[in-house]
């Protein structure tokens, strides 16, 4: 069991070519900083990163462009929904022949040798990584930015991979339905395990 066995189970998905207007898009969610996360692995050769919530692969591409030949295991449900922030993708993301995953694979096509995508629930995906006896160097939590979900993501990552660097996004998330849920989860998780954490801009890194 290894990265290669996981890759065999989850080969790069293929879709028919995207319509011209969409295929010319070179964006996706490339806005993410992660400015302080790649340096954590800067001396590591061929690091393995698990991203819980990959969307259109903006951060996955940043990891790959910044680090030494990493493997990024991207976990995402990649459903057929439309993002509020990018209505122009609606025709593709809601189309059952494509969906979010088609946009992800299109935008990440030049990085595909460094990516394994596991479609489905991120907790199930994380357990599958563990089953393949992979010990990631870093788990990046960027999925559902609500207290209970972030806490679950961190706790599962902690129990499966106790030595892995844990970090995540959207520290400043302050949804009207839940005030600062990410912060509450990270603080509670850190206190429970006796860890400290550092916040860089909108990202946090757990020290343990």
Q: What does the alpha-carbon distance between residue 70 and residue 199 come to, in Å, rounded to a whole number?
A: 24
Total residues in contact with ligand SAM, by rule CB under 6 A = 19
Q: What does the alpha-carbon distance between residue 201 and residue 195 come to, in Å, rounded to a whole number?
A: 19
Q: What does the alpha-carbon distance between residue 113 and residue 102 come to, in Å, rounded to a whole number?
A: 16
Nearer to ligand SAM, 172 or 193 (CB): 172
Scan residues 2-31 and list those touching ligand SAM (CB under 6 A). Answer: 29
Roughly what angle, to the nearest 10 degrees, separates helices 122-131 and 147-160? 0
54 touching ligand SAM, by CB under 6 A = yes
Scan residues 68-87 and list those touching ligand SAM (CB under 6 A). Answer: 75-79
178 touching ligand SAM, by CB under 6 A = no
153 touching ligand SAM, by CB under 6 A = no
Nearer to ligand SAM, 92 or 193 (CB): 92
Exactly one of 6, 10, 47, 51 binds ligand SAM (CB under 6 A); which one? 51
Nearer to ligand SAM, 21 or 148 (CB): 148
By C-alpha distance, which of 31, 2, 13 is closest to 135?
Answer: 2
Exactly one of 142, 165, 183, 197 binds ligand SAM (CB under 6 A); which one? 142
Nearer to ligand SAM, 176 or 194 (CB): 176
Q: What does the alpha-carbon distance between residue 110 and residue 155 come to, in Å, rounded to a whole number?
A: 33
Q: Please provide the distance, in angstroms rounded to a whole number, between the alpha carbons at the two ends of the chain.
A: 27
**108 CA to centre of own chain:** 13
Q: How far is CA 156 from CA 6, 25, 118, in A?
A: 19, 35, 17
Q: Per-residue contact track with ligand SAM, 91 to 130, x per CB under 6 A?
A: ------------------------------xx--------
The binding site for ligand SAM (CB under 6 A) comprises 29, 32, 51, 53-56, 58-59, 75-79, 121-122, 142-144
């Amino acid at each position: 069991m290894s990265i290669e066995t996981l890759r065999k189970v989850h080969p790069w998905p293929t879709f028919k070519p995207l319509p011209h207007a969409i295929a010319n898009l070179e964006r996706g969610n490339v806005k993410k900083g992660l400015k302080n996360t790649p340096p954590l692995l800067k001396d590591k050769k061929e690091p393995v990163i698990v991203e819980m919530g990959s969307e259109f692969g903006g951060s996955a591409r940043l990891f790959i462009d910044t680090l030494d030949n990493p493997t990024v295991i991207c976990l995402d449900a990649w459903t057929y929904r439309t993002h509020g922030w990018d209505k122009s993708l609606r025709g593709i993301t809601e189309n059952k022949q494509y969906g979010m995953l088609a946009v992800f694979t299109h935008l990440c096509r030049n990085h595909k040798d460094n990516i394994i995508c596991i479609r489905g629930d991120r907790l199930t995906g994380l357990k599958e990584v563990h089953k393949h006896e992979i010990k990631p160097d870093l788990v990046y939590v960027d999925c559902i930015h609500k207290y209970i979900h972030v806490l679950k993501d961190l706790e599962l990552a902690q129990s499966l991979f106790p030595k892995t660097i844990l970090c995540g996004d959207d520290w400043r998330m302050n949804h009207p339905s839940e005030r600062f849920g990410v912060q509450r989860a990270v603080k509670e998780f850190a206190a429970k395990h006796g860890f400290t954490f550092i916040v860089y801009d909108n990202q946090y890194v757990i020290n343990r």
